[in-house]
Structure 1
């Protein structure tokens, strides 16, 4: 039973790590109540084409749900999406020591500080890609930035999972959008 609970906890912890981290910021003086339309200025050109399409579709769906209208040009807000990625590494070291009692044991079978280690260790290196999506909104009249959403997480290899992660991240960005609309 204890092993089952430990396994369940580890799975939940891993699932939490896989969830994209999302942050938003906005200009508190921006008149969000007067914004009702938007146009794309940049559509994540540095992303692979299918990924860029998924990002645009997810953002369009969220803004449509908020009552905003997409215009080919001349919207109240200009949107710019940018992506970046970086490689990160995880190191796991496993020790195989013949003296299982080692720590604090000074008896016949234990070893003590300064004693030579007779076991072996193995280190496993795992590389993975971390992706970042940044979505900026600019007031087209004042040319000032009014909102930014940032999402970061591990980039999955399967397209279905990638699509789901993009949709989840963008939905989290727009949970309390427009700023000041959420009940606290």
Structure 2
């Protein structure tokens, strides 16, 4: 029984190591070099589902800081108070349950056909493993017309009990991957 759970844990961990493709989309007709300032569109971070177990001021603070740092590295500065920004930023944190089927094979025969087979009977065990995946999506909207000009997203399997420093690092890394292709080339 312990062996089965160990194999299950290994399968889940290996599936978590698969590299996710960061998704990007943008309006090719826009001149991204004209965007110099940014501000948050209210609400700055939206949660899907709107669940109090997911919402956290600490998570929002981490995401806002990571986005601000990345935009600063790309030459965008926060808009002056009362001034209209060239780009408005809005983020979404989407948490969903996913399932994966894990099949484990046990037993089977060994040997050669001319010497006969030996060993126990072979059987398979298939189970569903449920896990949570968080998707962070960052939208940049034109400050003049309010239309979406750039969108990026990345997803990550949620860890059950990470430390606050681990959460901060994971958010910084995720935001960095998402905004790596801004401005589009």
Task: Answer whether TM exceeds 0.5 for this pair.
Answer: yes
Aligned residues: 162
CA distance in 2, matches of 1:98, 1:67: 62
State which of 97, 103, 113 in structure 2 corresponds to 1:93.
103
Query: If the length of structure 2 is used for normalisation, what is the TM-score?
Result: 0.72
Deviating beyond 6 angstroms after TM superposition, the runs of 4 or more aligned structure 1 residues are none
Which blocks of at least 5 consecutive residues in structure 2 are unaligned? 1-10, 48-53
Separation of aligned partners in 2, 1:109 and 1:43:
66
Unaligned runs of 5+ in 1: 1-9, 112-116
Structure with bigger gyration radius = 1
* Structure 2 CA distance for partners of 1:60 and 1:20, relative to 1, 3 Å: farther
More strand by share: 2
Distance 2:115 2:149 in 1: 68
SS at match of 1:53: helix
> What secondary structure does 2:117 align onto?
coil
Two-structure CA RMSD over aligned residues (Å): 3.0
- TM-score normalised over the length of structure 1: 0.73
Cα separation, 1, equivalents of 2:22 and 2:90: 17
| Of 51, 54, 67, the match for 2:62 | 54
Distance 1:51 1:36 in 2: 27
Q: Which residue of 1 aligns with 2:152?
A: 149
Q: CA deviation at 1:79?
A: 0.9
